[in-house]
Amino acid sequence: MKLFVGLGNLGANYAFNRHNVGFMAVDAIAAAHGFPTWRKRFAGAVAESKLGREQVMLLKPQTFMNESGRSVGEAVRFYKLDLGDVVVFHDELDLAPGKVRVKTGGGVAGHNGLKSLTAHIGNDYVRVRIGIGHPGRKDLVSGYVLHDFAKSDHDWLEKLLGAIAAEAPFLADGANDKFQSRVAHALQAEDEAEAEPPAPRAKPERSRKAPAAGVKAEQPAPAGTLAEKLRRWFGS
């Protein structure tokens, strides 16, 4: 079994903070792959299903970020998991927004969630580092990560969460490099598709029958904000 851990802070006030992108990632995986309803266990919220050939438990610690290791440690000890079977999704200041890198072990770079995990279970777990960028000065970091994603981030964030969710079975199968490359390829393909000029539109034929007086042509519904989409998607 694999344990996929999303790092974040508990509560509606934190739900769309940059620091909560780990929660968003496992929520996206749960939604995309039809995981059952979240339930309380291991001082967290869990959902379990198969991804590819592997049984996967998703875990969102409900202990706040700096105590995440307590929740994860309970699950690791209960299932007697190797640290290579623990995959942690977290925000990464040292990566540009929208970039994803996967590595095993390494430093915690001041991330309180990773610091807590390493203290409770050791250091050799797999990290899915989700780039959120850096505010430029160390004294601005706390306010930056504990602030909602900017509106200008919404487009790339939606695409990124969708790509992470779609390619998650490769992580479950231990193909970490393949997961990383496929996420990057999916995002690049979307960017290229958007950059292509639209195909010329055929001139519509005139309707023989004029619309009834007072009847307006049907207009597409507005797309809605990222927060609205994610709330509908995640059922929250």
- Just list the catalytic residues: 19
CB 93 within 8 A of CB 141: yes
Number of helices and strands in the chain (H, E):
7, 7
Q: Which residues contact 133 (CB under 8 A, 6 or more apart)?
A: 93, 95, 96, 97
Q: Could you tell me whether strands 126-131 and 100-104 are parallel, antiparallel, or unpaired per DSSP bridges?
A: antiparallel
Asked whether the CA dihedral 203, 205, 210, 213 is positive or negative, the reply is: negative
The CA distance from 31 to 5, in Å, is 15
